[in-house]
C-alpha cells in the first residue's frame, strides 16, 4: 500500500500499513477517552510556544479557537473519530489542521507524541483518582454512620472463620473503614506520583527550542516538571502505583463482600440485603441471592490482572519509549472503572441493608467466646496463664459434651472444675461485659470504639480537605 502522506511519518515511507495493521496498531479506541486532557495540553503548549516567540500569537489564537470548537463537538457527540488517525492526538490534530491550515501544523513544534501521551495520561489519571477518592470517602462515611447508629450491637468475632471472641458490630465495621482509609492514602500517593509534567521532553532527548515548562505545568495544574527527558517519556511507575492502589482497594471490597455474602445467609442471618441489591433464581422461587456482592468479589481478579499485565509489559523494556507502552492505559482504565463501579455497588449494599441485631447477639452467645476472659479471671487470682488456659480448655470440653454454654453454668459447677474461680465468675462470662472489658486502645470495648469513631471522623475530615485542594 502506498504511503499515506497524512500520517505523521509519511515522508520516510513508500508503503503504509494495511487496514488490519492500522487497526491492530491503533490506540484510539482506548485513548480517545483522554480527549479533554489532550486538548487542554495542546492549548497550554500553544500558549507557551507563543509566549516564547516560537510561534506567533495569531497562530496560538487560531489553535485555541479551533481546539475549543473541537472540544464542544466531542462533548456534544458530533465529532467523528477515524481509526486511521491511530490515536486521539492525531485525530484532533488532523481535524484542527484541516480547519485552520498551517497554524494547526505548527502545534506539534517542540513536542512528540511520546511526551504528549504521557502528559494526557497523567492528567487523566489525576482526574480519575479524584473521582475514586470521592467514592472511597462515600463508603467510609457510610461505615462510620452505621458504626454510630448500631453502637452497642454485639456480634461474634472470628479467626479461621471459627467463633473467637465477641466484638461490637461497630468495631467490625470500623476495621473496614481503616482499610479504605489506607486505600485513600494510596490514592493520594498515586496522585502525587502522577503530578509531574513530562511535556517538553519531546521524543526522549528534549528539544532545541527554549521552552517554559514551568508555565505549562502551572497552567495544567502539575506541581512539578520531570527532571530527565528519557525517564519522563518511558516512566509508567505512576500507573503501576495507581493500579496497585486500585487492586488493594478492590481486594478490600472483596473481603467485605465475602462477609456480606456470609452474613446474609440463613445460617448467619446477621443482615438482610435490600431487594435492589439482590437477585432471584430462574428455577427456585424462594431464593434471594447476593449476586452483586459476589460480582464485587469476582471482579477483583481482573483488577489484580490489570496490575500484573502492566508489570509484565514493563519488565523488559529498554529506554526510552517503546510501542509496548501503548498497552498501559487499557488496564489502568479497566481497573479504575471496575473499582468505581464496585465502590458504588458496595456502598449501596451497606447503605440499605437491614442489621439483625438479635441474630448477631445470639451468635455471640455460642462458641464459648468468653473462654479467654475465664482464663484471665484465673490469672487475676494468681493462677499462671498456661495453667489457667488448660483449666478453661477442660471446662469447654465438658460443656461441649453436655451441650451447655459457659453462661449456663452455676458457681458450684465452675468450682467443680477449679476451686479458684471467684464469686464473680458468672459476671466474667456475661457477653456485654466481655466486650466492655476490652479497654485497650483500638480494642472492641465501648470506650475504645467511641475513641475510634472520633478518630475516624477526624480522618475523614482531613481527607476531605486534601481532596478539595486536589480538585482545585
φ, ψ for residue 188 (rounded to 5)?
-60, -45
Nearest residue to 195 via CA among 113, 115, 119, 117 = 119
φ, ψ for residue 408 (rounded to 5)?
-85, -10
CB 429 within 8 Å of CB 372: no
Catalytic site residue from 78, 160, 282, 440: 160
In angstroms and rounded to an integer, the radius of gyration of the C-alpha atoms of the chain is: 30
State the angle between helix axes of 35-51 and 88-100 in degrees (0 to 180), rounded to the nearest 10. Answer: 50
Distance, in Å, from the CA atom of 184 to the CA atom of 366, rounded to the nearest integer, reads 37
Handedness of CA 383, 389, 395, 396 (dihedral sign): positive
Distance, in Å, from the CA atom of 325 to the CA atom of 87, rounded to the nearest integer, reads 13
CB 25 within 8 Å of CB 113: no
Distance, in Å, from the CA atom of 394 to the CA atom of 371, rounded to the nearest integer, reads 11
Nearest residue to 133 via CA among 470, 455, 454, 456 = 470
Strand partners, 2: 15
φ, ψ for residue 156 (rounded to 5)?
-75, 135
CB 329 within 8 Å of CB 27: yes
- Pinpoint the alpha helices (H) of 150-199: 169-194
φ, ψ for residue 123 (rounded to 5)?
-60, -45
Alpha-carbon dihedral 423, 429, 433, 435, rounded to 10 degrees: 150
Grid cell digits, residue 386: 498456661
Grid cell digits, residue 349: 449494599
Residue whose C-alpha cell is 449476586:
291
Distance, in Å, from the CA atom of 124 to the CA atom of 110, rounded to the nearest integer, reads 22
Eight-class DSSP state of 289: B
Catalytic site residue from 281, 380, 408, 446: 281
Nearest residue to 263 via CA among 348, 350, 342 = 350
160 in catalytic set: yes
Distance, in Å, from the CA atom of 435 to the CA atom of 445, rounded to the nearest integer, reads 5
| Vertex 285 angle, CA 280 and 290, to 5° | 25
Q: Which residues does the annotation mark as catalytic? A: 160, 281
Amino acid at each position: 500500500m502506498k504511503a499515506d502522506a497524512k500520517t505523521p511519518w509519511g515522508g520516510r515511507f513508500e508503503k503504509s500499513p494495511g487496514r488490519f495493521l492500522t487497526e491492530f496498531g491503533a490506540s484510539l479506541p482506548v485513548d480517545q477517552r483522554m480527549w479533554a486532557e489532550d486538548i487542554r495540553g495542546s492549548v497550554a503548549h500553544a500558549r507557551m510556544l507563543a509566549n516564547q516567540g516560537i510561534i506567533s500569537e495569531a497562530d496560538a489564537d487560531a489553535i485555541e479557537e479551533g481546539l475549543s470548537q473541537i472540544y464542544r463537538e466531542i462533548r456534544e457527540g458530533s465529532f467523528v473519530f477515524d481509526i486511521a488517525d491511530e490515536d486521539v492526538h492525531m485525530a484532533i490534530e488532523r481535524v484542527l489542521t484541516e480547519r485552520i491550515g498551517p497554524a494547526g501544523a505548527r502545534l506539534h513544534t517542540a513536542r512528540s507524541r511520546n511526551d504528549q501521551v504521557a502528559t494526557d495520561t497523567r492528567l487523566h489519571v489525576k482526574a480519575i483518582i479524584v473521582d475514586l477518592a470521592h467514592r472511597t470517602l462515600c463508603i467510609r462515611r457510610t461505615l462510620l454512620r452505621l458504626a454510630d447508629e448500631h453502637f452497642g450491637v454485639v456480634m461474634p468475632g472470628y479467626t479461621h472463620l471459627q467463633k473467637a471472641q465477641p466484638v461490637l458490630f461497630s468495631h467490625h465495621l470500623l476495621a473496614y473503614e481503616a482499610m479504605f482509609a489506607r486505600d485513600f492514602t494510596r490514592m493520594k500517593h498515586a496522585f502525587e506520583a502522577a503530578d509531574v509534567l513530562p511535556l517538553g521532553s519531546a521524543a526522549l532527548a528534549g528539544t532545541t527550542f527554549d521552552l517554559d515548562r514551568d508555565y505549562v505545568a502551572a497552567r495544567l495544574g502539575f506541581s512539578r516538571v520531570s527532571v530527565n527527558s528519557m525517564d519522563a517519556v518511558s516512566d509508567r511507575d505512576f500507573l503501576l502505583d495507581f493500579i496497585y492502589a486500585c487492586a488493594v482497594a478492590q481486594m478490600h471490597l472483596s473481603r467485605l463482600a465475602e462477609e456480606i455474602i456470609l452474613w446474609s445467609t440463613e445460617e448467619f442471618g446477621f443482615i438482610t440485603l435490600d431487594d435492589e441489591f439482590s437477585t432471584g433464581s430462574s428455577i427456585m422461587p424462594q431464593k434471594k441471592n447476593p449476586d452483586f456482592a459476589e460480582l464485587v468479589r469476582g471482579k477483583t481478579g481482573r483488577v489484580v490482572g490489570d496490575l500484573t499485565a502492566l508489570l509484565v509489559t514493563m519488565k523488559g523494556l529498554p529506554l526510552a519509549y517503546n510501542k509496548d507502552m501503548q498497552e498501559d492505559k487499557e488496564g489502568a482504565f479497566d481497573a479504575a472503572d471496575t473499582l468505581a463501579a464496585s465502590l458504588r455497588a458496595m456502598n449501596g449494599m451497606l447503605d440499605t441493608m437491614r442489621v439483625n441485631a438479635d441474630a448477631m447477639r445470639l451468635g455471640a452467645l455460642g462458641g464459648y467466646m468468653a473462654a479467654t476472659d475465664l482464663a484471665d479471671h484465673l490469672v487475676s487470682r494468681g493462677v499462671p496463664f498456661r495453667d489457667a488456659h488448660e483449666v478453661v480448655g477442660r471446662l469447654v470440653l465438658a460443656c461441649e459434651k453436655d451441650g451447655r454454654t459457659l453462661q449456663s453454668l452455676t458457681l458450684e459447677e465452675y468450682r467443680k472444675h477449679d476451686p479458684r474461680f471467684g464469686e464473680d465468675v458468672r459476671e466474667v462470662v456475661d457477653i456485654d461485659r466481655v466486650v466492655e472489658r476490652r479497654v485497650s486502645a483500638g480494642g472492641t470495648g465501648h470506650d475504645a470504639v467511641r475513641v475510634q469513631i472520633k478518630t475516624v471522623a477526624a480522618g475523614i475530615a482531613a481527607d476531605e480537605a486534601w481532596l478539595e485542594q486536589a480538585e482545585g
